[in-house]
């Protein structure tokens, strides 16, 4: 493991020299360290790069870490990880990734994750993305997440892009069965000339299923963000989509939430708000001795928390 990989791991996955529980560390297109636990089984795929991960029925209180790092220029890393979560589980998955680039060549990571979540299970999924390095080469991260939530199961996704990524396209597709629940909290920061797009598409197929999509983002300098969400209520269900964005400098944000009610008992709502930081917020913090720039950064940190 090289020094840049260790730096990324500390930021995106709380690496402290080791992981507690099952894990797999991916560096520059290769799995460099991997360990299963008694109830979480990690096996390499035979037909393409990636892993098959099986979690036994009734597994509770365990953590799985699967960070990925790209630290060499010119690499286009694509990985396919499939997660099969048994019944009545309650686990945490940490899936951060980062690209470090000190050259003019592009580097990219594309993680394609598929989840099949068994009846009555709960999954907390944390995913942090970051770009590091002083090079002018593109640092691209394009995650794809496909989720099948079983009966009375739930998944909480906490995803964040915390700086330095020049280009990203984040795609999440999900289907939710009877009594299932999906909660997504996205936090996104772009600056300079960075570009980021988010696409959510959720099918509420089961009775009493629910989804809550919340995106908070800040577009600074000359950066651009696009947000598009689609919630399809195909059964008696409830769905909520919320996009809040702050723009500073010449930042631009496009938000287009979409609702499709395909059942008379589908209760769906969406909210979208885009604007600059209120002047009175800046003024109040300046009375405590902060400069305008410090006040703005304090507000942004709180907004993205």
The total number of residues written for the chain in this structure: 305
pLDDT along the chain (305 residues), means of 10: 91 86 94 95 95 98 96 94 98 95 94 97 97 93 97 97 93 98 96 96 98 95 96 98 93 94 97 85 79 83 82
pLDDT for 18: 84
| CB-based contact 113:84 (threshold 8 Å) | no
pLDDT for 210: 98
Structure tokens given for 259: 């609702």
Q: Against a cut of 0.85, is the pTM above it?
A: yes
pLDDT for 110: 96
Cα four-point dihedral sign 245, 228, 166, 17: positive
Give the CA count within 13 Å in the CB-facing half-sphere of 155: 30
> For the chain, what are the domain ranges?
3-278
pLDDT for 16: 83
From the DSSP assignment, how many helices (H) and strands (E) are in the chain? Answer: 3, 22
pLDDT for 303: 83
- Residue 157 CA, chain-centre distance (Å), reads 7
Rounded distance between C-alpha atoms, residue 305 and residue 301, angstroms: 6
- Residue 282 CA, chain-centre distance (Å), reads 30
Task: Give me the residues paired with residue 98 across strands.
Answer: 69, 130
pLDDT for 287: 80
């Amino acid at each position: 493991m090289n020094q840049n990989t260790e730096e990324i791991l500390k930021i995106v996955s709380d690496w402290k020299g080791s992981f507690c529980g099952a894990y797999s560390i991916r560096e520059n297109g290769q799995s460099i360290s991997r360990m299963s636990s008694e109830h979480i089984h990690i096996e390499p795929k035979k037909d393409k790069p990636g892993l098959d991960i099986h979690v036994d029925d009734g597994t509770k209180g365990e953590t799985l870490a699967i960070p990925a790092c790209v630290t060499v220029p010119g690499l286009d890393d694509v990985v396919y990880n499939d997660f099969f979560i048994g019944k009545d589980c309650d686990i945490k998955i940490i899936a951060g990734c980062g690209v470090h680039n000190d050259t003019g060549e592009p580097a990219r990571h594309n993680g394609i994750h598929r989840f099949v979540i068994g009846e009555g299970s709960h999954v907390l999924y944390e995913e942090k993305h970051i770009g590091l390095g002083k090079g002018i080469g593109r640092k691209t991260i394009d995650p794809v997440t496909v989720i099948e939530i079983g009966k009375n199961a739930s998944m909480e996704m906490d995803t964040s892009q915390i700086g330095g990524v020049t280009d990203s396209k984040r795609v999440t597709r999900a289907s939710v069965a009877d009594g299932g629940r999906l909660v997504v909290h996205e936090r996104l920061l772009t600056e300079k000339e960075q570009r980021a797009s988010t696409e959510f598409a959720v099918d509420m197929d089961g009775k009493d299923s629910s989804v809550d999509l919340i995106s908070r983002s800040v577009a600074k300098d000359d950066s651009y963000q696009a947000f598009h969400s689609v919630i399809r209520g195909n059964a008696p269900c409830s769905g909520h989509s919320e996009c809040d964005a702050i723009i500073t400098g010449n930042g631009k944000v496009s938000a287009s939430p979409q609702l499709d009610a395909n059942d008379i008992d589908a209760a769906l709502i969406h909210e979208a708000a885009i604007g600059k930081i209120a002047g009175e917020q800046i003024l109040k913090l300046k009375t405590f001795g902060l400069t305008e720039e410090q006040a703005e950064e304090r507000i942004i940190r709180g907004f993205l928390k």
